C-alpha cells in the first residue's frame, strides 16, 4: 500500500509540472448495514447480519488541452476484517481507474486503460457506485463528437489472465473474454435519443475437444428521454440474440416506460414499468429467453434490496416491476419512497410438484431513504427497505415468505475536492 501511494505521489508530481490543470478528488464512505432478508428471504431462525463497510478513494485527474489522464486508488474493507496490528490488509489497495485520453483532432479522441463505462440510465453499462468497489473495465474507447449535441462512442476490449507465449484459457469468473460496443446519442431540445449495440463474448469450453471458444450475444436497442417544464419521461427497448455463456440460443427482450411530474416546488411523483423477459423453468435445454442487463448499475433498479439482477436472478424467470417513485426535497433534506410490485415473466414450477405452475406474483417491496446534506462535500443518508415475498419468490430464493424481510443502512459520504491550475 505504501509503495502504491509513493508511486502515485511521484506520478502526480511529474504530471503537475506538465499539466495545465490538476484535480484531486477524495472519498471516505463508511456504511453501516443491518441485513435480515437482503437479497434473499429471511427465516424465523435466521440471525440478522450487522457490519460496517468502507470505501476510501483518491483520484487525480490531470492534463492539458489535448491530453487528459486519471489515476484512482481505493481501499475497500469491512471494519474489523484485519487485526489492529495487522501486517497486511484482507483486500489491499486496488486501482479503480488508470487511463489516458488524447484528442486526435477536433472531432475525435481516444481513451485507453482501466475506466468506468456508463451510459444513459446505466441499465446496460454503469459504474455500480453503490457497491464499495464499483465497476471498471480495461478497454479502448474511441469518442467522436460530430456536433455540439451529438456523440458516438466505440469501445473494444479483449481480456486475458496474464501474459503468455501461447494461447491459454481465460478463467476470470463473470468477465467477458471479448467485448465491443457502439453508443450513439443526440440531444434535440426537449428530447434525447440514444442507440446502444453490445457485442458480448464469453469464454465457452467446447466439450467435444476441450478447447476454449468465444460465444457472442448481441444486445441492440434505443432509449428516448423527454424533459420540459415539470414533466419528464423515458422509454427504452432492447433485444438480445445470439448465444449465452452456455451456448444456448438466446432470444430475449427488455422494455421500460417511466414518467414523473413536479407536482409542487418540493414534491415530485412518478410511475414506471420495467419488463425483462425470462426463461421458463420447463424450457428446452438449448434455449434461453432470459434478458441479461450485463454491466449495468442494477442496484438502481428493481428495488434496493437487490433481489433481482445484482449477481443473481440471471438466466431465470425474468421480471416485471411496477413502481411509483416519490421524492420530497426541502432545504438540506431529501426524502424518497418507492413501492414496487414484482411479477415473473416466465413459468415458475412448484418444487414439490413440477407439473404445477405457481402464480407469477413475486412480492412487494417498499424502499425508504432520507438524505441530509451536511455541506457541499458531505452528506448523511439513512435507508430502510422491506420485502413481502410470495410462495413463488420462496421457490426461487429459499427462505420463508411468511416472514417480512428487512434491510436498514446508514451511510456517511465525504468527498473533498481540490483543483489546481497552471
pLDDT tens-digit readout, 45-79:
999 999 999 999 999 998 888 999 999 999 999 99
- pLDDT above 70 as % of the chain: 95
Task: Give the SS3 label for residue 163.
Answer: coil
- 388-401 pLDDT, tens digit per residue, is 999 999 999 999 99
Give domain limits for the chain: 2-421
CA separation for the pair 298, 291 (Å, rounded): 13
Give, in order, the Cα–Cα distances in Å from 131 to each of 183, 250, 298.
25, 29, 10
Percent of the chain with pLDDT over 90: 87
What is the SS3 assignment for 300?
helix
CATH topology of domain 2-421: Porin (2.40.160)
Would you say 309 and 318 are in contact if contact means Cβ atoms under 8 Å apart? no
Residue with the larger pLDDT of the pair 77 and 4: 77
* Other C-beta atoms lying within 10 Å of the C-beta of residue 262: 14
Helix (H) or strand (E) holding 158: strand 150-158
Q: Which residue has the cell 487485526?
A: 83
CA distance 82 to 13: 32
Q: What is the pTM of this model?
A: 0.92
CA dihedral over 199, 205, 207, 213, signed as positive or negative: positive
Q: Taking CA 41 as the corner, what is the angle to CA 38 and CA 42, rounded to the nearest 5 degrees?
A: 90
Q: How many CB atoms lie within 10 A of CB 385?
A: 22
Question: How crowded is residue 203: how many other Cβ atoms within 10 Å of its Cβ?
Answer: 18
The predicted pLDDT at position 13 comes to 52
Cβ pair 143, 109 in contact under 8 A: yes
Task: State the Cα–Cα distance between residues 290 and 241, nearest whole angstrom.
Answer: 10
> If you average pLDDT over residues 247-251, what whole number do you get?
96
3-state secondary structure of 5: helix
pLDDT in tens, 100-121: 999 999 999 999 999 999 999 9
Grid cell digits, residue 296: 449495468
Residue with grid cell 484528442, as numbered in its chain? 103
CA 126/CA 296 separation, integer angstroms? 4
Q: How confident is the model at residue 4 (pLDDT cuts 50, 70, 90)?
A: low
What does the pLDDT look like over 313-326, one tens digit per residue?
A: 999 999 999 999 99
Amino acid at each position: 500500500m505504501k509503495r502504491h501511494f509513493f508511486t502515485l505521489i511521484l506520478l502526480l508530481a511529474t504530471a503537475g509540472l506538465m499539466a495545465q490543470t490538476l484535480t484531486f478528488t477524495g472519498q471516505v464512505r463508511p456504511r453501516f448495514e443491518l441485513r435480515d432478508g437482503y437479497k434473499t428471504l429471511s427465516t424465523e431462525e435466521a440471525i440478522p447480519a450487522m457490519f460496517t463497510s468502507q470505501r476510501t478513494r483518491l483520484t487525480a485527474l490531470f492534463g492539458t488541452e489535448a491530453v487528459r489522464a486519471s489515476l484512482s486508488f481505493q481501499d475497500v474493507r469491512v471494519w474489523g476484517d484485519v487485526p489492529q496490528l495487522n501486517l497486511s490488509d484482507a483486500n489491499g489497495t486496488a486501482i479503480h481507474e488508470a487511463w489516458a485520453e488524447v484528442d486526435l483532432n477536433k472531432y475525435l479522441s481516444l481513451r485507453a486503460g482501466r475506466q468506468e463505462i456508463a451510459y444513459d440510465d446505466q441499465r446496460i453499462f454503469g459504474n455500480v457506485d453503490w457497491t464499495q468497489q464499483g465497476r471498471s473495465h480495461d478497454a479502448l474507447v474511441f469518442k467522436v463528437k460530430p456536433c455540439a449535441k451529438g456523440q458516438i462512442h466505440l469501445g473494444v476490449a479483449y481480456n486475458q489472465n496474464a501474459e503468455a507465449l501461447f494461447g491459454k484459457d481465460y478463467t476470470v469468473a463473470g468477465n467477458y473474454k471479448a467485448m465491443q460496443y457502439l453508443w450513439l446519442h443526440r440531444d434535440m431540445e426537449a428530447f434525447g435519443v440514444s442507440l446502444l449495440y453490445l457485442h458480448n463474448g464469453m469464454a465457452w469450453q467446447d466439450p467435444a475437444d476441450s478447447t476454449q471458444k468465444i460465444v457472442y450475444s448481441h444486445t441492440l436497442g434505443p432509449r428516448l428521454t423527454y424533459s420540459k417544464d415539470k414533466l419528464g419521461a423515458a422509454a427504452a427497448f432492447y433485444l438480445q440474440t445470439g448465444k449465452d455463456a452456455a451456448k444456448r440460443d438466446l432470444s430475449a427482450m427488455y422494455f421500460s416506460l417511466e414518467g414523473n411530474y413536479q407536482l409542487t416546488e418540493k414534491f415530485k411523483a412518478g410511475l414506471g414499468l420495467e419488463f425483462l423477459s425470462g426463461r421458463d423453468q420447463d424450457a428446452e435445454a438449448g434455449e434461453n429467453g432470459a434478458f441479461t442487463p450485463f454491466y449495468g448499475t442494477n442496484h438502481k433498479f428493481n428495488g434496493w434490496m437487490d433481489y433481482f439482477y445484482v449477481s443473481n436472478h440471471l438466466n431465470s424467470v425474468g421480471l416485471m416491476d411496477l413502481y411509483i417513485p416519490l421524492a420530497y426535497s426541502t432545504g438540506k433534506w431529501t426524502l424518497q419512497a418507492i413501492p414496487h410490485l414484482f411479477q415473473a415473466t416466465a413459468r415458475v414450477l412448484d418444487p414439490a410438484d413440477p407439473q404445477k405452475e405457481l402464480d407469477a406474483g413475486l412480492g412487494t417491496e417498499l424502499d425508504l431513504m432520507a438524505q441530509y446534506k451536511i455541506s457541499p462535500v458531505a452528506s448523511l443518508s439513512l435507508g430502510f427497505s422491506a420485502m413481502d415475498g410470495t410462495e413463488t419468490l420462496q421457490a426461487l430464493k429459499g427462505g420463508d415468505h411468511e416472514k417480512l424481510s428487512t434491510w436498514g443502512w446508514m451511510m456517511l459520504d465525504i468527498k473533498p475536492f481540490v483543483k489546481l491550475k497552471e
